């Protein structure tokens, strides 16, 4: 069989610099899925863009040949004129991008943007185009295609936008679809559904797929062929089952080892200790009022948190897991005193073992300053949480200045010391953040949080913007620091595998409610709640024999009204948390 | 429907703003000590011309200048009966200019709509020039097109307007026979509108439009270019290219639409800066616009005249902002559907 797309000896470079992609070759067979795996900067994205010739203006293809199509009439994409290339784009090869939030124009209706593909490649009237698009919308799972057609992107959720992107890429029935990290920006349950959808559509139309990803779990679920890239070169290539079962190249092995996985050992975890609690949240609720802006319409109440009870023992890690909008970040903000809870809720903090607890939201000014020294935060996005105009030294010593600690020489020495402790060099103090990679920046964020020698650190998805191998390093760092400094972590994440590794107790949140809570081992071995089950099922695992169970995902990831009788809740009727075994609580009717 | 409601709402807020502005204007023009008449009376008394003093005293009574400030304001606006009953701005009586000894309406007369015409022409010129050039400069950034347009633009920004005016007059007259000075041929002044007069105005408009518009156009062009460059880096542009769109169509449909918002929002800001900024140009070019009148009125503390001119400029600004707000709502669904239930 002749390949549909054949890339041979492709090299791409920016300006005069060394090539970023060098000697890359691979074939894609009709109807097959090829996964391009690698970390950011490995050149996988730029290789894909070279196929469509949508490279940044300063990048050029230095050598190589890209051919596409059948044996009778092959198109040499690398030599095609720009005019003829336009006929290929969107019609015969289409592409799905990583960020569904930003990959659609905010000012044009979804329907207009999708049906445009059909007008552009001619041969179709406007009415026909609309009909085709509506059919496609129905196919990708829009509950009301007509309404989606007339919506603007900002009116849809991330998952729905990615569905619209898929519809846009599929509507012209291309021979080849290139999906560049199509699910990285999505929640894990949404990811599972989107991957399932792409697979179904592929089976239906017989198109080939190039899937760019850094997640070996996604590869195991989707791909027949795998190409592993590192620093612009192909490290290993071959059938998926061979590579996943027996990775030969050390780099592939390294990727495997770095990928966190949910354990499936038959163990029962120990519940969180009840004494020496550093943080206690008692029936914390938070209701936001969204003003309708019009006098005659009632304001909408949003229950971000409903009756949340947490305890965090000193030196332990409590993880809050949930999709975006589940209230996990709100809970953390309340814990830090950044926002007051609704009346009735209370947050207690004990700075030292046996110390008198202070109520976080009724502190005096002095207490607050002391509390802020004790409790620090590490943010999700290491790119925007460091000021680009401050040297590392200034960013690190600023907390000390604010609290008036030490002389400037002492502050500098401490900054150098902490920097070494997070695995960076003291001579980096004079640099600006732009000189650091994503992982290094996250180390800097952690260093900044460590400067005041806190006892509690709130980590808001600290690794979700990072590659797997970097994520692994950051998690190790967090674990080391916890041990050496008796730190307590409140760890927020949507990634169960990460949580499984670092947490002592996990709380799963959905729509502002904790639906299940327990030690990770118990929770992952014996999940009770359909939503927890869905989260676990949706986690793609790098094992080709254990594909995602989409049925389980669909069962739990839907709205709470669709859960089975025992777990169902509505706004007016909410079951309470029931303790099934010591430390394992589930929200259900008994 | 939504749009109409918004337009009506916006119109009423504009009226409200105008009311506040009127009070501010009145207070400000009364802030300097003394007024035109008391200055004149003092001068006349010094030179012993008692007949003039009597006339000035009469005018003082006539225009209620002897009353407290707030009453003067109410009478000026027409909210309160003055010596001649209700007769203020809202009744269409613009007051009396002491300096020129004629009603304000007679002095401003033609200059009102000529100001509107000149500024409208300049705004259109700014948009017509800045739009294509800004897009082109962004699409071909860091090429000779970009550099040339930036160079010409900075020249336009840096050249003093009156100098540009003089140069243009000289060469325009020499090579294209463009008339010098004024906004129409002197023989048409005070004549009713006719085809010939309109034609004369159009020809006279060329140079002023160009002079007043150049700096605005180059500033706006640079702004649009910067906005466009920001937008061109966004993923949705890549999506459009990956669909197989041709560059020109892609540019105008996607990034331009997004970069257009600040462009539209500028309408309101353009008008007042042009009116006050073009005073010097108007003097040099001998344009019968309101700028020079305002300058004289302010210098001589001719309160009714300056008050009226300031109100007129404020009205222009508010109308400009209102138009740009309504246009924005039309253009941007994010503003339009804010709060629509999903």
Q: Is the pLDDT of residue A478 over 80?
A: yes
Contact A116 B243 (CB under 8 A): yes
Give A108's contacts in chain B (Cβ within 8 Å).
253-254, 257
B243 closest CB neighbour out of A98, A102, A117: A117
Q: What is the tens place of the pLDDT at every residue in A186-235?
A: 888 888 988 999 999 999 999 999 999 988 889 999 999 999 999 999 99
What lies within 8 Å, CB to CB, of B204 at 6+ separation is B179, B182, B183, B184, B185
Pairing state between β A75-76 and A59-68: antiparallel
Q: Any idea which of A53-67, A502-516, A576-590, B54-68 has the lowest mean pLDDT?
A: B54-68
Determine the pLDDT at residue B341: 41
**Long-range CB pairs of B72-78, under 8 A, 24+ apart, other chains included:** B72/B26, B72/B30, B73/B22, B73/B23, B73/B26, B76/B26, B76/B304, B76/B307, B77/B22
A89 closest CB neighbour out of B244, B258, B337: B244
In a domain, A190, yes or no: yes
Q: What average pLDDT score do residues A416-421 get?
A: 91
Whether residues A63 and A153 share a domain: the answer is: no
Which token pair is A316? 């332990």
| C-alpha distance from A64 to closest chain B C-alpha (Å) | 21
B235 closest CB neighbour out of A91, A102, A108: A102
Taking CA atoms, what residue in B is nearest to A109? B333
Instruction: For residue A31, name the pLDDT band (cuts at 50, 70, 90).
Output: very high
A54 closest CB neighbour out of B238, B257, B334: B238
CB contact at 8 A, A341 and A305: yes
Q: Is the pLDDT of residue A561 over 90?
A: no
Whether the CB of A546 is below 8 Å from some CB of chain B: the reply is: no
> Torsions phi, psi of A6, nearest 5?
-130, 120
Q: Which of B2, B234, B242, B334 to mutate to test the interface with A (most CBs of A within 10 A)?
A: B242
| CA–CA distance, B292 with B289 (Å, rounded to integer) | 7
Whether residues A184 and A164 share a domain: the answer is: no
In a domain, A162, yes or no: yes
Task: Name the 3-class secondary structure at B165.
Answer: helix
CB contact at 8 A, A574 and A504: no
Which of A125, A150, A173 is where one domain is finished?
Answer: A173
Which token pair is A501? 């590794």
Which token pair is B63? 């225009």
Percent with pLDDT over 90 in chain A: 45
A52 closest CB neighbour out of B242, B257, B338: B242
Say which residue, A212 or A582, is predicted with more confidence. A212
Which of A151, A173, A195 is where one domain is finished?
Answer: A173
Q: The complex's ipTM?
A: 0.78
| CA–CA distance, A11 with A199 (Å, rounded to integer) | 30
> Torsions phi, psi of A119, nearest 5?
-65, -40
Taking CA atoms, what residue in B is nearest to A153? B334
Q: Is the pLDDT of residue A111 over 90?
A: yes
**Structural domain of residue A412, as residue ranges?**
277-529+567-587
**Long-range CB pairs of A472-478, under 8 A, 24+ apart, other chains included:** A472/A257, A472/A258, A472/A260, A473/A423, A473/A439, A474/A439, A474/A442, A474/A443, A474/A446, A475/A260, A475/A501, A475/A502, A477/A422, A477/A423, A477/A443, A477/A446, A478/A446, A478/A502
| C-alpha distance from B224 to closest chain A C-alpha (Å) | 17
Q: pLDDT by residue for chain B (342 residues), tens digit each?
A: 678 888 898 899 999 999 999 999 999 888 877 777 777 778 887 877 777 777 778 877 877 787 888 888 888 888 888 787 788 888 888 888 888 888 888 888 778 888 888 888 888 999 999 999 999 999 988 889 899 988 988 888 888 888 888 888 888 888 887 777 777 887 777 777 788 888 888 888 888 888 888 888 888 898 899 999 989 988 899 999 999 999 989 999 999 988 888 888 887 777 777 777 777 788 888 887 888 888 888 888 888 888 888 888 888 888 888 888 888 888 888 777 654 443
Give A294's contacts in chain B (Cβ within 8 Å).
339
| C-alpha distance from B269 to closest chain A C-alpha (Å) | 24
Which token pair is A557? 């990831």
CA dihedral A120, A121, A126, A129 (to 10 degrees): -120
Whether the CB of A119 is below 8 Å from some CB of chain B: the reply is: no
Contact B245 A155 (CB under 8 A): no
| CA–CA distance, B29 with B242 (Å, rounded to integer) | 61
CB contact at 8 A, B221 and B151: no
Contact A94 B339 (CB under 8 A): no
Taking CA atoms, what residue in A is nearest to B261? A107
In a domain, A10, yes or no: yes
DSSP for A62-99?
A: EEEEEEES-SSS-EETTT--HHHHHHHBTTTEEEE-S-
> Torsions phi, psi of A563, nearest 5?
-75, 160
Whether residues A167 and A208 share a domain: the answer is: no
Determine the pLDDT at residue A548: 86
A90 closest CB neighbour out of B242, B338, B340: B242
How many angstroms from the chain centroid is the CA of residue A54? 26
Which token pair is B267? 């309408």
What lies within 8 Å, CB to CB, of A196 at 6+ separation is A548, A550
Q: Which of A84, A107, A119 to mutate to test the interface with B (most CBs of B within 10 A)?
A: A107
If you count residue pairs, one on A and one on B, with CB atoms under 8 Å apart, how many are there? 80
In a domain, A541, yes or no: no
CB contact at 8 A, A47 and A229: yes
What is the domain count for chain A?
Answer: 3
We report the CATH number of the domain holding residue A418 as: 3.40.50.300
In a domain, A561, yes or no: no
Give A107's contacts in chain B (Cβ within 8 Å).
257-258, 331-334
Whether residues A87 and A130 share a domain: the answer is: no
B244 closest CB neighbour out of A102, A121, A155: A121
Whether residues A137 and A122 share a domain: the answer is: yes
DSSP code for A13: E
Give B332's contacts in chain A (Cβ within 8 Å).
107
| C-alpha distance from B238 to closest chain A C-alpha (Å) | 8
Whether residues A204 and A246 share a domain: the answer is: yes
Contact A120 B245 (CB under 8 A): yes
Determine the pLDDT at residue B340: 46
CB contact at 8 A, B311 and B318: no
Q: Which of A52, A106, A151 to mutate to test the interface with B (most CBs of B within 10 A)?
A: A106
Q: Is the pLDDT of residue A293 over 60?
A: no
Q: Is the pLDDT of residue A258 over 80?
A: yes
Looking up tokens 């996604």 gives A218
Looking up tokens 């080391």 gives A480
| CA–CA distance, A95 with A192 (Å, rounded to integer) | 19
Beta-ladder partners of A287: A303
Looking up tokens 């207690």 gives A348
Whether the CB of A479 is below 8 Å from some CB of chain B: the reply is: no
Q: Measured at the alpha carbon of residue A281, what is the angle toward residues A280 and A286, in degrees to the nearest 5?
A: 165
Determine the pLDDT at residue B342: 36
A97 closest CB neighbour out of B238, B244, B339: B238
Whether the CB of A106 is below 8 Å from some CB of chain B: the reply is: yes
Whether residues A62 and A190 share a domain: the answer is: yes
DSSP H or E segment with residue A235: strand A233-239
Contact B331 A117 (CB under 8 A): no
Task: Name the 3-class secondary structure at A261.
Answer: coil
Whether residues A288 and A222 share a domain: the answer is: no
Which token pair is A566? 């025992």
Range ranked top by mean pLDDT from A485-489, A525-529, B77-81, B267-271:
A485-489
In a domain, A414, yes or no: yes
Q: Which of B140, B227, B233, B244 to mutate to test the interface with A (most CBs of A within 10 A)?
A: B244
Give B239's contacts in chain A (Cβ within 8 Å).
95, 97, 103-105, 165, 168
Whether residues A146 and A211 share a domain: the answer is: no
Whether the CB of A116 is below 8 Å from some CB of chain B: the reply is: yes
Which of A259, A293, A318 is where one domain is finished?
Answer: A259
DSSP strand E in B80-219: where? 96-97, 102-103
Looking up tokens 């990583």 gives A98
Whether residues A393 and A472 share a domain: the answer is: yes
In a domain, A36, yes or no: yes
Q: How much is the mean pLDDT over chain A?
A: 88
Contact A116 B242 (CB under 8 A): no
HEC readout, B25-68 = HHHHHCCCCCCHHHHHHHHHHHHCCHHHHHHHHHHHHHCCCCCC
Determine the pLDDT at residue A265: 67
| C-alpha distance from A114 to closest chain B C-alpha (Å) | 9
Instruction: State the distance between the two ends of chain B, measured CA to CA, in whole angstroms.
Output: 19
Kindly tell me the burial class for residue A586, based on how many C-beta atoms sit within 10 Å of its own C-beta (0-12, 13-18, 19 or more).
Answer: buried
Whether residues A179 and A166 share a domain: the answer is: no
Determine the pLDDT at residue A266: 64
Determine the pLDDT at residue A41: 80
DSSP code for A264: -
| C-alpha distance from A151 to closest chain B C-alpha (Å) | 9
Q: Residue A436: which of A47, A445, A114 has the closest Cα?
A: A445
The domains located in chain B, with CATH, are 109-303 (1.10.3720.10)
Taking CA atoms, what residue in A is nearest to B335? A107
CB contact at 8 A, B153 and B218: yes
Contact B243 A152 (CB under 8 A): no
Contact A89 B339 (CB under 8 A): no
Q: Residue A219: which of A252, A248, A186 has the closest Cα?
A: A252
CA dihedral A335, A340, A342, A347 (to 10 degrees): 40
DSSP H or E segment with residue A133: helix A126-139
Whether the CB of A91 is below 8 Å from some CB of chain B: the reply is: yes
> Torsions phi, psi of A11, nearest 5?
-130, 135
Q: What is the tens place of the pLDDT at every residue in A101-110?
A: 789 998 899 9
Whether the CB of A325 is below 8 Å from some CB of chain B: the reply is: no
| C-alpha distance from B338 to closest chain A C-alpha (Å) | 9
Task: For chain B, list residues whose CB is within 8 angstroms of any CB belonging to chain A.
Answer: 234-236, 238-246, 253-254, 257-258, 331-334, 337-340, 342
Whether residues A412 and A515 share a domain: the answer is: yes
Contact A120 B339 (CB under 8 A): no
Say which residue, A533 or B51, is predicted with more confidence. A533
Contact A86 B242 (CB under 8 A): no
Q: What is the tens place of the pLDDT at every residue in A363-377?
A: 889 889 889 999 999
In a domain, A8, yes or no: yes
Q: Residue A38: which of A195, A252, A243, A200 has the closest Cα?
A: A252
> Torsions phi, psi of A283, nearest 5?
35, 60
Kindly tell me the burial class for residue A301, based on how many C-beta atoms sit within 10 Å of its own C-beta (0-12, 13-18, 19 or more).
Answer: exposed
């Amino acid at each position: 069989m002749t390949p549909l797309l054949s890339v041979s000896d492709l090299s791409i470079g920016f300006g005069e610099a060394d090539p970023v992609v060098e000697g890359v070759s691979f074939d894609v067979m009709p109807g097959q899925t090829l996964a391009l795996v690698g970390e950011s900067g490995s050149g996988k994205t730029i290789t894909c863009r070279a196929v469509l010739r949508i490279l940044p203006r300063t990048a050029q293809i230095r050598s190589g040949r890209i051919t596409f199509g059948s044996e009778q009439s092959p198109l040499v994409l690398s030599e095609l004129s720009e005019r003829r290339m336009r006929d290929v784009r969107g019609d015969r090869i289409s592409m799905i991008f990583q960020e569904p939030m930003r990959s659609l124009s905010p000012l044009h209706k979804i329907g207009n943007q999708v049906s445009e593909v059909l007008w552009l490649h001619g041969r179709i009237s406007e009415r026909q185009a609309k009909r085709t698009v509506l059919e496609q919308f129905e196919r990708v799972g829009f509950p009301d295609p007509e309404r989606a057609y007339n919506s603007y992107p900002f009116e849809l959720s991330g998952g729905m936008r990615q569905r619209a992107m898929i519809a846009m890429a599929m509507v012209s029935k291309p021979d080849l679809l290139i999906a560049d990290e199509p699910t990285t920006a999505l929640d894990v349950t949404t990811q599972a559904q989107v991957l399932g959808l792409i697979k179904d559509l592929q089976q239906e139309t017989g198109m080939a797929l190039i899937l760019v990803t850094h997640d070996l779990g996604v590869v195991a679920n989707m791909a027949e062929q795998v190409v592993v890239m590192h620093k612009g070169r192909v490290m290993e290539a071959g059938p998926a089952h061979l590579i996943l079962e027996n990775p030969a190249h050390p780099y592939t092995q390294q990727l495997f080892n770095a990928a966190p996985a949910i354990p499936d050992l038959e163990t029962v975890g120990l519940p969180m200790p009840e004494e020496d609690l550093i943080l206690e949240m008692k029936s914390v609720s938070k209701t936001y009022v969204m003003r309708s802006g019009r006098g005659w319409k009632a304001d909408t109440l949003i229950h971000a948190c409903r009756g949340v009870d947490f305890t965090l023992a000193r030196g332990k890690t409590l993880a809050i897991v949930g999709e975006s909008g589940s209230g996990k970040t709100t809970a953390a903000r309340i814990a830090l005193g950044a926002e007051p809870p609704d009346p009735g809720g209370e947050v207690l903090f004990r700075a030292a073992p046996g110390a008198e607890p202070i109520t976080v939201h009724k502190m005096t000014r002095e207490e607050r300053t002391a509390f802020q020294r004790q409790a620090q935060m590490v943010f999700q996005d290491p790119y925007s949480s460091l000021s680009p105009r401050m040297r590392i030294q200034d960013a690190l010593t600023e907390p000390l200045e604010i609290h008036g600690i030490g002389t400037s020489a002492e502050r500098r020495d401490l900054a150098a010391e902490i920097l070494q402790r997070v695995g960076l060099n003291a001579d980096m103090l004079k640099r600006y953040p732009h000189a650091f990679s994503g992982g290094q920046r996250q180390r800097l964020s952690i260093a900044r949080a460590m400067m005041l020698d806190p006892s509690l650190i709130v980590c808001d998805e600290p690794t979700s913007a990072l590659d797997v191998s970097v994520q692994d390093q950051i998690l190790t760092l967090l674990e080391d620091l916890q041990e050496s400094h008796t730190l307590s972590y409140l760890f927020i994440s949507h990634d169960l595998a990460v949580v499984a590794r670092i947490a002592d107790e996990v709380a799963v949140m959905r729509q502002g409610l904790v639906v299940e809570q327990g030690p990770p081992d118990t929770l992952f071995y014996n999940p009770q709640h359909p939503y927890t089950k869905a989260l676990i099922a949706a986690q793609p695992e790098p094992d080709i024999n254990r594909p995602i169970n989409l049925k389980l995902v669909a069962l739990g990831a839907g709205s709470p009204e669709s859960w089975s009788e025992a777990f169902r809740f509505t706004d007016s009727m909410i079951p309470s948390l029931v303790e099934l075994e010591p430390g394992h609580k589930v929200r259900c009717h008994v | 429907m939504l749009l109409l409601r918004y337009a009506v709402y916006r119109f009423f807020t504009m009226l409200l703003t105008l009311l506040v502005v009127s009070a501010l204007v009145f207070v400000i023009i009364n802030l300097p000590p003394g007024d035109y008449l008391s200055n004149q009376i003092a001068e006349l008394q010094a030179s012993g011309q008692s007949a003039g003093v009597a006339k000035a005293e009469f005018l003082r009574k006539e225009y209620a200048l002897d009353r407290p400030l707030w009453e003067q304001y109410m009478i000026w606006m027409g909210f309160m009966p003055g010596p001649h009953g209700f007769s203020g701005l809202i009744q269409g009586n613009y007051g009396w200019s002491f300096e020129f000894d004629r009603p304000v309406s007679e002095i401003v007369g033609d200059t009102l709509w000529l100001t509107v015409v000149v500024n409208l022409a300049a705004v259109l010129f700014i948009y017509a020039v800045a739009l294509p050039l800004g897009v082109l400069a962004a699409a071909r950034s860091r090429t000779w097109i970009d550099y040339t347009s930036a160079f010409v633009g900075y020249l336009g920004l840096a050249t003093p307007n009156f100098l540009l005016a003089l140069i243009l007059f000289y060469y325009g007259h020499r090579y294209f026979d463009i008339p010098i000075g004024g906004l129409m041929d002197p023989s048409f002044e005070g004549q009713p509108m006719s085809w010939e007069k309109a034609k004369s105005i159009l020809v006279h408009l060329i140079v002023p439009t160009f002079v007043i518009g150049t700096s605005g156009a180059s500033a706006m062009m640079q702004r649009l270019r910067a906005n466009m460059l920001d937008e061109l880096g966004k993923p949705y542009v890549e999506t459009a290219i990956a669909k197989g769109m041709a560059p020109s169509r892609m540019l105008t449909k996607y990034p331009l639409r997004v970069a257009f918002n600040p462009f539209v929002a500028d309408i309101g800001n353009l008008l007042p800066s042009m009116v006050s900024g073009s005073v010097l140009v108007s003097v040099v070019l001998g344009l019968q616009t309101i700028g020079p009148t305002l300058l004289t009125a302010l210098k001589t503390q001719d309160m009714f005249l300056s008050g009226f001119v300031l109100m007129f400029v404020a009205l222009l600004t508010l109308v400009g902002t209102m138009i740009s707000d309504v246009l924005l709502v039309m253009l941007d669904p994010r503003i339009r559907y804010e709060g629509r239930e999903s």
